[in-house]
């Protein structure tokens, strides 16, 4: 009985030793720290990730952490693959910039391959979602009916367009298929000021339509609709 107990304790000891060795190896394995950025337009207040659309410049960078330190890759060849095709390679090349042509709804696959690191090759895959341009209409009246004789303001915000500012975006507003006058906000064409005149019949449905398009790339276009009832 004592002999069996000794064997059991010995097995536990060796099991713990192997487990500790595995954890030490896992902890010391080189780790990639990666980041990517899409260079397109989002509103100033937006704090989320800017996603690339077709032809958006994208920058990808990385560092390799080994034994809790940034590894020196100045003498290692680094190969970059975009969607399984070699994009570029270079010694110490830790960041690239490229213009993807992936369709919306797909992922851009980026593979980083560090050559001859500790006698082997290290690989890291990054998947970047490709989106369509987006836009949202913002107003405190989106879920309310509008009242005869009152004024209302609606604002549309574009996202992910391949422009540097709103100056390169065209905005168009219609109300019940009639071009809406922007009035005082001609200098802010993304804003619609809507006056419900006293002659507007109660119960009338107002179909508000906003179109946002890239002046330089007409294929980048979004249309948003909003329906309100006059009370």
pLDDT tens-digit series, residues 18-31: 333 344 444 569 99
Give the per-residue pLDDT at 169: 95
Give the per-residue pLDDT at 143: 67
Please report which confidence band the pLDDT of residue 221 belongs to, taking 50, 70 and 90 as the band edges.
very high
pLDDT tens-digit series, residues 52-81: 999 999 999 999 999 999 999 999 999 999
Check: CB of residue 87 under 8 Å from CB of residue 109.
no
pLDDT tens-digit series, residues 179-189: 986 655 456 88
As a whole number of angstroms, the distance between CA 162 and CA 27 comes to 41
Could you tell me what percent of the chain has a pLDDT over 90?
68
pLDDT tens-digit series, residues 102-156: 889 999 999 999 999 999 999 999 999 999 999 999 887 776 788 888 888 899 9
What would the two tokens of residue 121 be?
């090759």
Give the per-residue pLDDT at 173: 95
What is the CATH number that goes with domain 134-229?
A: 2.60.40.10
Q: Where are the domains positioned within the chain?
A: 30-129, 134-229
Pairs from 63-72 (Cβ < 8 Å, separation ≥ 24):
63/32, 63/33, 63/94, 64/30, 64/31, 64/32, 64/33, 64/114, 64/117, 64/122, 65/30, 65/31, 65/32, 65/33, 66/28, 66/30, 66/31, 67/28, 71/30, 71/117
The mean pLDDT value for 196-214 works out to: 92
- Topology at the third CATH level for domain 30-129: Immunoglobulin-like (2.60.40)
Give the per-residue pLDDT at 218: 86
The pairing of strands 169-175 and 58-66 is: unpaired
Please report which confidence band the pLDDT of residue 13 belongs to, taking 50, 70 and 90 as the band edges.
very low
Give the per-residue pLDDT at 146: 87
The mean pLDDT value for 175-196 works out to: 79
- Is the predicted pLDDT of residue 34 greater than 70, yes or no? yes
Is this prediction's pTM over 0.85?
Answer: no
Do the domains 30-129 and 134-229 sit in the same CATH topology, yes or no?
Answer: yes
Give the per-residue pLDDT at 160: 98
Mean model confidence pLDDT for the chain: 87
CA 36 to chain centre: 9
Does the CA dihedral 70-76-82-84 come out positive or negative?
Answer: negative
Give the per-residue pLDDT at 186: 58
* Residue of higher predicted confidence among 181 and 204: 204
Residue that has been written with the tokens 């960078």 in this structure: 61
Could you tell me what percent of the chain has a pLDDT over 70?
84
Between CA 55 and CA 161, with CA 61 as vertex, the angle to 5 degrees is 25
Give the per-residue pLDDT at 17: 38
* Residue of higher predicted confidence among 10 and 88: 88
Beta bridge partners of 102: none
């Amino acid at each position: 009985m004592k002999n069996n107990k000794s064997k059991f304790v010995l097995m536990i000891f060796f099991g713990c030793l192997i487990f500790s060795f595995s954890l030490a190896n896992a902890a010391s394995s080189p780790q990639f720290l990666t980041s990517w950025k899409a260079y397109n337009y989002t509103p100033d207040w937006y704090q989320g990730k800017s996603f690339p659309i077709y032809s958006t410049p994208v920058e990808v960078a990385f560092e390799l952490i080994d034994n809790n330190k940034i590894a020196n890759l100045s003498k290692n060849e680094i190969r970059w693959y975009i969607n399984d095709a070699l994009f570029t390679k270079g010694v110490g090349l830790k960041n690239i910039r490229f213009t993807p042509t992936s369709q919306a709804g797909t992922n851009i696959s980026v593979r980083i391959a560090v050559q001859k690191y500790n006698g082997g090759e290290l690989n890291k895959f990054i998947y970047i979602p490709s989106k369509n341009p987006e836009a949202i209409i913002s107003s405190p009246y989106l879920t309310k009916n509008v009242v005869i004789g009152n004024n209302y303001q609606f604002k549309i915000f574009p996202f992910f367009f391949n422009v540097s500012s709103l100056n390169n975006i065209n905005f168009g507003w219609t109300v019940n298929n009639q071009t809406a006058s922007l009035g005082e906000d001609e200098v802010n064409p993304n804003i619609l000021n809507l006056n419900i005149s006293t002659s507007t019949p109660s119960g009338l449905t107002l179909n508000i339509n906003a179109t946002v398009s890239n002046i330089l790339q007409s294929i980048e276009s979004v249309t948003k609709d909003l329906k309100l009832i006059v009370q």
